[in-house]
Chain A
Amino acid sequence: MTSQAPAVRGKAAGSRRQSWLQRRSVRRVIASAATYAALLVLAGLSILPFLWMVSTSLKDPGSVFLFPPRWIPDPVVWSNYYEALTFLPFARYFANTAFITVANIVGTLVSASLAAYAFARLRAPLKSLIFLMILSPMFLPGQVTMIPLFILYRHLNWIDTYNPLIVPAFFGGGAFNIFLLRQFFTTIPLELDHAARIDGCGEAGILWRIVLPLSKPALATVTIFSFMGHWNDFLAPLIYINSSAKLTVSVALSRFRGEYGTTAWHLLMAASIVAVLPCILIFFFAQEYFVRGIQMTGMKG
């Protein structure tokens, strides 16, 4: 009797512990189920506008205005895309926008890499002061310089040309890109520079053969963000471009509504989908650089 008592007590404690563990794991299962349920709802909310966009773009004009709306278009009108893209010369606008975007990417990569290399590797008097000065425009709202720049470009006869949209990129490529590349360049070991120098490489050679090849992730990030920024840019082309043959996709889209009437939602959505398609494709093919770029931008604070 007395010898059994501790065993009984031991067993009771054991079952208590077991039920505690069980309760704990049940709680975990419920918590993780709730997590996934919430994530699924959020994912659904994220996707819904896209589905709606695609659905509308394939409807015939009559079924766009049905209540309740029908998700699966019947009939499926693929020719909406043809009509939307030929009503205005969208191929032209795509080419225009692509030209501006590519020119900006080239200018940014060249001039930001040069400056970033200088800040990461070369010694010079006043270097840190100049670095601060170069970075200072990051906090300056563009509206402050917008008006004098317009007047300057007007004097240069640059209005209604692509110069105002392209030339600035060749002069530094944006404070933020210089900063980002400089941070990346400083992580490349100096020993590699020394080795290259012994082999007879000059600074330009080191930049071209050592630093840039090792900085592909950072360069990809700069390229992608530059692409997104200029592909979607609205205010600058709105200000500087007047002739309809020179319009960019985003300005053309904004005019589409006025020119076709406000009710042609099937065509507007078709045109919008085509306009954002390059960005979505780039996102899916270069997602890791996106994430890395965003993390780098967020981590600088």
Chain B
Amino acid sequence: MVLRQSNTRREAVLFYVFVGPALLGLLIFTLGPMVASFYFSFCDYEIVRAPEWVGLANYHKMFFVDKLPLKSLGVTAYYSFVGVPIRLVAQFLVALLLNRALFGRSLFRTVLYLPSIVSGVALSLLWVWLLNPEFGLVNYLLWEVFGIQGPRWLSSPDWVIPALIVMSMWGIGGGIVICLAGLQGISEELYEAAELDGASGLQKMLRITVPHMTPVLFFNLIMGIIGSFQVFTQGYVMTGGGPSNASLFYVLYLYWNAFNYFRMGYASALAWVLFAIILAMTGLIFRSSSAWVYYEGSVQM
């Protein structure tokens, strides 16, 4: 009894020794900074001087005085709410194709995943060149294949976000692999049973494939929206937020405030609004999920 108790005690101590670094890290690199950032968001804080409490002034400024936060929010929402659903559908369709291919499936999967390996600055530079209006590949192909005179992409206020969405289509490899794994997890018996009942291909798709894929699509949707609202590199490297702020992504504007103008208080307020928006959206998607996400074994259909 004594031995046993000392054993559980030792186990608990060991637990905290093993988890210790992670817990400490959580405090130092996440929770502490969160509290500080929340406090700074109510302060005028230009880094060289101590933070000075100004109440809601930063929040007031970002919604009613400074035009750019709302502008950048609009830009980011446009990029996200158009781009994420398009990528979601594309991932699903490509995964369906891959799932049909009996021969060479893994080769095709490799090739289709390949573009997702290239990311960050190199990818951004490549696309600046691909989208070059006069000498880039995109406009050349548009002209050669479709006879279309391509737009000026990154230097056109109307086309810069569509251009970045087109570019983002080359990053769907991860989503394709996830969808394909989901498709392969659907039991073959379901399709056989449906065929015996005389179901058409479309019926099988709508009644079996799509419902079984909703959890995967749900996950990809959430991660896609969260990631998309934090887009930064493309704006910084490719467009600098231009032309005329048409690609001023929210995080780019936040970055400028923090590290170019050193308005730490204002930038903290911007960060908290972003956090609130992301939380609200994930919450909304979660709450709506019971209506459209199908989980095996649940009664609801």
Contacts and interface: CB of A to CB of B under 8 A. Distances in A.
Interface size class of A (residues with CB under 8 A): 35 or more
A246 to B, nearest CB: 17
A209 to B, nearest CB: 16
B229 to A, nearest CB: 8
Given A43-B112, A123-B8, 11 more contacts: A53-B126, A114-B22, A117-B18, A119-B19, A147-B37, A147-B268, A171-B28, A203-B14, A254-B124, A269-B126, A301-B219
B97 A35 contact: yes
10 contacts: A35-B97, A39-B98, A43-B108, A115-B22, A122-B14, A122-B15, A123-B15, A143-B271, A254-B124, A294-B174
Contacts of B57: none
Contacts of B130: 49, 52
Nearest to B112: A46
Interface string A38-70: 110011001111101100100000001111110
Contacts of A250: 120-122
Contact of B177 (A43, A123, A257, A291): A291
B264 interface: yes
B149 interface: no
Contacts of A140: 30, 34, 275
Nearest to B114: A46
Interface in B226-278: 226, 229-230, 232-233, 236-237, 251, 254-255, 258-259, 264, 267-268, 270-272, 274-275, 278
Interface in A51-99: 52-53, 56, 64-69
A68 B140 contact: yes
B112 A298 contact: no
Contact of A137 (B11, B26, B32, B109): B26
A118 interface: yes
Nearest first, the 3 A-B pairs at minimum CB distance are A171-B25, A301-B219, A298-B178
Interface stretch (A3-11, A125-133, A187-195): A125-133
B226 A139 contact: yes
Contacts of B119: 228, 232
B258 A171 contact: no
Contacts of B216: 298, 301
B258 A147 contact: yes
Interface in A135-194: 136-137, 139-152, 154, 168, 170-173, 178
B254 A115 contact: no
B226 A141 contact: yes
**What does DSSP make chain B's interface, helix, strand, loop or mixed?**
helix
Nearest to B9: A124
Nearest to A239: B259
Contacts of A148: 32-34, 36-37, 40, 268
A268 interface: yes
A253 B37 contact: no
A221 to B, nearest CB: 13
A5 to B, nearest CB: 30
Given A43-B108, A67-B134, A254-B121, A145 B30 contact: yes
B97 A38 contact: yes
B11 A149 contact: no
B100 interface: yes
A136 to B, nearest CB: 8
Contact of A143 (B28, B30, B274): B274
A289 interface: no
B22 A178 contact: yes
A143 B25 contact: no
B147 to A, nearest CB: 13
Contacts of B34: 140, 144-145, 148
B118 A279 contact: yes
B135 A69 contact: yes
